[in-house]
Amino acid sequence: MDARSEKNAVPLAVDLDGTLIATDLLWEGLFLLLRQNPLLVFLVPFWLAKGPATLKMEIARRVDIDPAALPYRKEVMERLHAERASGRRLVLATGTPRKFAEAIAQHLGIFDAVLATDGKENLTSKRKRAALVAAYGDAGFDYFGNSRHDLEIFDAAREASVVAPDRSAAAWQAAHGCELIETPKPTAKTILKMLRAHQWLKNGLIAVPVVLSHEYFNVAMLVDCILAFISFSAAASAIYIVNDFFDLALDRRHPTKRNRPFASGLLSMRFGIFSAMGLLVLSFAVAAFLPLLFLGVLCAYLVATTAYSLSVKRMLLLDVLMLAGLYTMRILAGAAATDIGVSFWLLAFSTFFFLSLALVKRYVELRSSVLVPGERIAGRGYRAEDQEIIAQAGMASAFSSALVLALYIDSSAVRELYSHPWMVWPLAPTVLYLTMRIWILARRDELHDDPVVFIVRDWRSQVVVAAGAVMLVLAGMV
């Protein structure tokens, strides 16, 4: 028997989580379960107390996965197809529940056998090794794995290949000199995408109360603003990570969101969970240096964003109202951090202005989705036929914000704050220009799906915003 025939006579067993796919189906299944019914989180500790196998089987019994949407490792798939073409027997050996494993095997159509968690036995580590040895004999199989749970299986295999290893598997690979299958590694840019660092720009709204109260040179207030910005940004990034976990299935069907770090598998969900926990610790640690009222606003923001991620984002109109509220909450956070009162005018203006931006975001999503009449956009409560009413509501909100601003400029409060109130009047047409231009670009399909990010990146919008800020400063100083 030649070397090639001898190799083909030995089956190749392949691990699933982290090896064949760049994700962990236990975590994915758990977040799918909680998205369906958040109250089931209270049953998770009881299932886990009965053992990992029970937890896995209870999750698998309640949720389904889409095998076609999973992030398969290209490098591993190419190897497996080549081995299959040469006539080699392939075995999917995983601690994942059999329901998930068989769905994946059926989708790929390259595996001859499936060994998976079934019943009360969690098929990992020693138990997976025992199952493989019982089926194919000691050193009677080759193995692809990636983690510390695979070390004993590496020892029992004839040949081992390590894929995207964790620290333990990397040490084993270096000590034994076996094959290392290279996969794309995350970069600093990947981490920034996970944090949604560009979304921190929204937290600049925290400084609005300081700007409107003309406390530009109050060092204590500026320091409080910076601390509040850091706290809110850390909390927001933690929520973005959790939100990505709940939206994995939807993101993988989206033309651009499928490239997000967790949807694509560039970052592991385990890493994301620890990152989110660390960010929340940082957020509350920084908040400890600010007034207690700020902590209350921060907690309310976390509750509201969690509710939005779990269910509100799929509710017609309630989602955009909550988005507008979350923007306004940043202004309230700035007021709480600096102990500056917030006027009725500011709250009314921000509510209408941000409602218009939230509506344009939904409008862009509808414009970019291919829907048949009566079909809802994925993960949302809107249909294709809702475009026109959303556009009308968005434009009406934009004009309402400008009207509130105009009434404010003509109020006694402005005459008390500014020596030359007439210099503030251009702000009303400035707001109209910003919002109307955004809506026109949205109708032309030329708008980024996040209008706030668009305003920050668009040079024309930057010029208009800068001109408005200069007018406010000069009106208060002249």
Distance CA 234, CA 275 (A): 10
**What is the structure's pLDDT at 58?**
93
Strand partners, 121: 118
Q: How confident is the model at residue 6 (pLDDT cuts 50, 70, 90)?
A: low
Number of neighbouring beta carbons within 10 Å of residue 321: 16
| Cα 426–chain centre separation | 38
**What is the structure's pLDDT at 75?**
94
- Spatial strand order of the sheet with 160-163 comes to 113-117, 90-97, 12-14, 142-145, 160-163, 179-181
Q: How confident is the model at residue 450 (pLDDT cuts 50, 70, 90)?
A: confident
Nearest to 312 by CA among 239, 262, 258: 239
Highest-confidence range of 1-15, 167-181, 305-319, 461-475, by mean pLDDT?
Answer: 167-181
Taking residues 436-462, what's their average pLDDT?
83
| pLDDT tens profile 330-389 | 999 999 999 888 888 888 999 999 999 999 988 988 887 776 676 777 667 788 888 889
User: Average per-residue pLDDT in the chain?
Assistant: 88
Distance CA 305, CA 105 (A): 37
**What is the structure's pLDDT at 295?**
95
**What is the structure's pLDDT at 7?**
58
